[in-house]
Amino acid sequence: MKPSFSHWLGLFSIILGVFAWELIVRLSGLPRFILPSPLDVWMRLLKSLADGSLLYHTSITLLEITLGLAVGVTFATLLGYMLAKSRSLEKVLSPYLVASQAIPVVAIAPLLVIWLGHGIISKVVICALIVFFPVLVNTVVGVRAVPPALYDMMHSLRASRWQVMSKLEVPASLPVLLGGLRIGATLSVIGAIVGELVDAKEGLGFLLKVGDFQYDTSMVFVAVIMLVALALALYGIVTLLEKRFLKWQHTPS
Amino acid sequence: MTAKPILTVKNLSVIFPDSNGGLHALDDISFEVHSRDFICFLGPSGSGKTTLLRIIAGLLQPSSGQVSFVDNLQPKIGMVFQQAHLMPWRTVMDNIKLPLELEGMDESQARIKAQEMIELVGLNGFEDSWPRDLSGGMAQRVGIARSLVHDPDLLLLDEPFASLDALTRERMWVELSRIWQVKQKTVIMVTHSINESLFLADDVLVLTQRPGKIKLEVKVDLPRPRNDDIRYTSHFGKLARKLRGAIE
Ligand SMILES: Nc1ncnc2c1ncn2[C@@H]1O[C@H](COP(=O)(O)OP(=O)(O)O)[C@@H](O)[C@H]1O
Ligand SMILES: [Mg+2]
C-alpha cells in the first residue's frame, strides 16, 4: 500500500514544527539552558545513546510500566469480573472504590515511596494503582453488557462456567476492556514518571530531574521525547490488539 | 404407536415474585411430547410462552409441578430464539459450530458437521461472513443451523420467525418444514401466529393470557409435506377459525 497524502502531511507538519522551533531559538536568543535548539537536543540524544545511559533509563521505566500494567490490569479485571457478577460485593466495595478515586494517586505517591522504598517496586505500585480504576470500571461495564439471551443460549447448551467465561463473557466484553486498556496504557506512563520524580535513582523521571538540576535542558527534552515515544508505542500496541481481536467490528461493508 | 412420551409436563405453574402477591405467568400446564412430535403453543404475548420454553430447557425452575424426561435423562437441547442471538465476534461457521466446541468435539470434525448444517439451511458461501453483514432471514438460518448441529434430542423454537418480514417468514416456514422432515426431530415451538402454528405443527395448544393456561388442543391433520398452497385450503381455514375463536 502506498503511503497516503495525509501520511506525508503529518511528516511535513513535524518538519515544519522543528523548523519553527529552530527559528524561535535563533530569533529570541534565549540561552541554551532555557530553550535548546533542535540540533542541541539531537546531539544530546546521540550522546546519551552512545554512553548507554538513555537506553538504560528507558528500559527501567519501561520495566516499571510493563509490570505496573500487568499487575494493575490483572487485579482490575479479576476484581471487575467479580463485581460484575455480584451486586452485593459491589455494594460492599463501591464506597471504598469511589473514595479511592477521590484521592489523586499523584498526591499519595510520596507516601508510597516512603512505604515501599525508592526502588522500582514503589513505581510499579503507583503505575498499577493509576491503571487499576479505568480498567476495573470498563471490565464491570463490559461484563454487565453481555446480552442475557446469550447466557440463555449457552446454558441451554449446558456450557460449563469456564466455557461461559471463555467463550461468551471474555469475547463479549473485550471491546470495552480494550478501551479501558487504552486509557490505562497512557496513564501508566504518567504513573511511572510521577513515582520516579518523587524519588528514584534510575529511570526517565530520574533523567528528567538530573537534567533539571544540572541545567542540562537538552537532556530534559530527550527524556520527554522518550516518554512520548513510550506512550505512543503502548497506544500502538493496544491499537494492534484491537485490530487483531476486534476484526468483527470493522468489517468493510 | 403408544411409545413412552419423551417429555411429560404435569401441573406446571410459574409465579414470578413481584410487589403485589406475585405474577402468575403459567397455570396448571400439563402435556406430553412424543419422539418426533412437532407441537406448538399458540398464545398472545404475555401468555408465558417464553417462560414455558425456558423451563423445559432447564433455564428456570417452576414454582410447582413437574417436568420429567424419559428415563430421567436431561435431553440435548437445541434452541432458536426470537432474535437470532448470534455471537457478533464469530463468523457464520464459528457460530454454528459453537455447540460442538462446547461438547469438546475436535476442530476438523466440528467444521465438517457445521458445513453440513450450512448446506442444509442454504448458506453456502457465507461461512466466513460476520453476523453484522447478514440479513434478518440469513441470521435466523444461522440460528437454526446452530440449534441442529449437535444433533439435539429436543428442539425448542421461541417465535423463531417473528422478527422477519412476512415474505421471508413464509419462505422460512417451508424451509423449516423441509428440515424437520429431513432431520426427524422432536420440536416444541411457541408462536402467536395462527398460520405459523398450522403450517408447521402436528398439534397446536392454545394458551390463554396471564396466567397462561391450556385452553384448547387442536390436532393438525394436514398432509405433509406442506407447501404454500395448503394455506388456501378450506380445511386450513376451518382449523384457523377454530384457533382464532379460542384466542381472546
Ligand atoms: N424473569 C421474570 N421475572 C419476572 N417476570 C417475568 C419474568 N419472565 C417473564 N415474566 C413475566 O411473565 C409473563 C409471561 O412472559 P413470557 O413468558 O415472556 O410471555 P410470552 O413469551 O408469551 O410473551 C409476562 O407478564 C412477563 O412480564
Ligand atoms: Mg416470548
pLDDT tens per residue across span B152-188? 989 999 998 888 888 888 888 888 888 888 888 899 9
What pLDDT shows up at residue B155?
A: 93
Distance B50 CA to ligand 2 centre (A): 4
Q: Is the pLDDT of residue A2 over 60?
A: no
Contact between residue B103 and residue B72 where contact means Cβ atoms under 8 Å apart? no
Interface test with B, best of A150, A152, A164, A169 (most B CBs within 10 A): A152
Q: Which range among A170-179, A202-211, B212-221 shows the weakest confidence by mean pLDDT?
A: B212-221
> What average pLDDT score do residues B219-239 get?
86
Closest residue by Cα to residue A129 from A113, A148, A142, A151: A113
Model pTM score: 0.84
All residues of chain A having their beta carbon less than 8 Å from the beta carbon of residue B88 are: 248-249
Bridge pairing between strands B64-69 and B7-16: antiparallel
The span from the CA of B9 to the CA of B61, in Å, is 13
Kind and range of the H or E run holding B39: strand B38-42
Write out pLDDT tens, residues B35-89. Answer: 889 999 999 988 899 999 999 999 999 998 899 888 877 889 999 998 889 999 9
CA distance to A170, B144, B156, per residue, from B137 (Å): 28, 11, 18
pLDDT band of B1, cuts 50, 70, 90 = low
Give the residue from A234, A228, A241, A203 showing the smallest Cα distance to A131. A234
What number of H helices and E strands is found in chain A? 11, 0
Confidence of residue A1 (pLDDT cuts 50, 70, 90): low
Cross-chain residue pair A150–B102, CB shorter than 8 Å: no
**Mutate which of B13, B23, B40, B213 for ligand 1 pocket (most atoms within 8 A of beta carbon):** B23
Task: Say if residues B97 and B111 touch (Cβ distance below 8 Å).
Answer: yes
Residues of chain A with Cβ-Cβ distance to B74 below 8 Å are 158
In our burial notation (b when 16+ CB lie closer than 10 A, e otherwise), range B213-229 reads bbbeebebebeeebeee
For residue range A21-50, list pLDDT tens digits in order: 888 888 888 888 888 888 888 998 899 899
Nearest to B154 by CA among B45, B8, B1, B2: B8
Instruction: Name the band, by pLDDT with cuts 50, 70 and 90, for residue A253.
Output: very low
The answer to whether B156 faces chain A, any CB pair under 8 Å, is yes
Give me A175's grid cell. Answer: 471491546
| pLDDT confidence of residue B50 | 92
**Mutational test site, ligand 1, from B13, B16, B157, max ligand atoms within 8 Å of CB:** B16
Mutation target for A interface from B61, B87, B156: give the one with most A CBs within 10 A: B87
CA dist., res. A68 & res. A122, Å (int): 10
Average pLDDT, chain B: 89
Q: Is the dihedral of CA B176, B181, B187, B193 positive or negative?
A: positive
Looking at residue A95, its pLDDT comes to: 87
Which residues in chain A touch residue B100, judged by CB atoms under 8 angstroms apart? none
Task: Give dist(CA A96, CA B152) in Å, integer.
Answer: 48
CA of B45 from ligand 1 middle (Å) equals 9
- Say whether pLDDT at A220 is over 60: yes
Burial classification of residue A100, based on how many CB atoms lie within 10 Å of its CB (0-12 exposed, 13-18 middle, 19 or more buried): middle
